[in-house]
């Protein structure tokens, strides 16, 4: 009895399943809330405005989110999970890559500025709402990790002589950026001056790291 023939293997690439209508609606609501957060901050976001922007009814919004606080928490967590910066060109020297990666957060790069406004709102909200802190901590861990790699590349011998120095320098620089962001956005400091101060601090860190590595 001849063996049964196997059907030919499919050569088509399987497509990802389409999100359900509920998932799409939830995503639309979170997207609208995130955009409004970047424009008006937490205090300026209402459930009515989010529902209108997402083109859903208030009843449907409340089906997905218990109340305004639940919506704000979810929108901030979603924005933090998707937080990303424009990676500097790998053709730049390591020190210039580090400067470029940090400088884009001082309000000069439009897309980075939009993300950073939401990030700043999360920082302020986390001071009063512990539920937001895990997502914020995860974003900070990723950001500090990226900057640590850039510091290590800019000062190659530092990790060998002082294993924790690159991570500490990266944490100090990202914390400085957080403060400069606030002053620039509050019009207490011109963006050009913020960039100048960041450049001075970055240079000091690199020079100090190079001296320690020698």
Q: Note the pLDDT tens digit of each residue in 8-31.
A: 555 555 555 566 888 999 999 999
Give the model's pLDDT for residue 4.
43
Average model confidence (pLDDT) across the chain: 86
pLDDT band at 197 (very low <50, low <70, confident <90, very high): very high
Q: Which two tokens stand for residue 18?
A: 């389409």
The pLDDT > 90 percentage for the chain reads 58
pLDDT band at 213 (very low <50, low <70, confident <90, very high): low
Give the model's pLDDT for residue 123.
92
Give the model's pLDDT for residue 13.
53
3-state secondary structure the chain: CCCCCCCCCCCCCCCCCCCCHHHHHHHHHHHHHHHHHHHHCHHHCCHHHHHHHHCCCHHHHHHHCCCHHHHHHHHHHHHHHCCCCCCCCCCCCHHHHHHHHHHCCCCCCHHHHHHHHHHHHHHHHHCCCHHHHHHHHHHHHHHHHHHHHHHHHHCCCHHHHCCCHHHHHHHHHHHHHHHHHHHHHCCCCCHHHHHHHHHHHHHHHHHHHHHHHC
In sequence order, which residues have a C-beta less than 8 Å from that of residue 119 and are 6 or more positions away? 79, 80, 83, 139
pLDDT band at 105 (very low <50, low <70, confident <90, very high): confident
Q: Mean pLDDT, to the nearest integer, of 31-40?
A: 94
């Amino acid at each position: 009895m001849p063996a049964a023939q196997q059907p030919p293997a499919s050569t088509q690439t399987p497509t990802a399943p389409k999100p359900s209508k509920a998932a799409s609606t939830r995503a639309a609501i979170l997207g609208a809330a995130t955009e409004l957060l970047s424009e008006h901050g937490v205090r300026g976001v209402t459930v009515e405005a989010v529902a209108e922007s997402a083109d859903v009814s208030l009843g449907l919004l409340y089906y997905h989110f218990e109340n305004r606080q639940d919506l704000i928490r979810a929108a901030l967590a979603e924005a933090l999970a998707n937080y990303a910066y424009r990676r500097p060109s790998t053709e730049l020297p390591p020190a210039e890559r580090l400067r470029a990666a940090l400088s884009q957060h001082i309000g000069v790069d439009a897309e980075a500025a939009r993300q950073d406004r939401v990030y700043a709102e999360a920082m302020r909200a986390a001071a009063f709402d512990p539920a937001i802190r895990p997502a914020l901590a995860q974003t900070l861990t990723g950001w500090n990790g990226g900057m640590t790699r850039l510091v290590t590349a800019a000062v190659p011998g530092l990790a060998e002589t002082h294993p924790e120095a690159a991570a500490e320098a990266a944490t100090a620089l990202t914390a400085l950026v957080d403060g400069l962001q606030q002053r620039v956005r509050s019009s207490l400091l011109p963006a050009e001056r913020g960039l100048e101060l960041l450049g001075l601090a970055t240079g000091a860190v690199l020079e100090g790291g190079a001296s320690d590595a020698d």
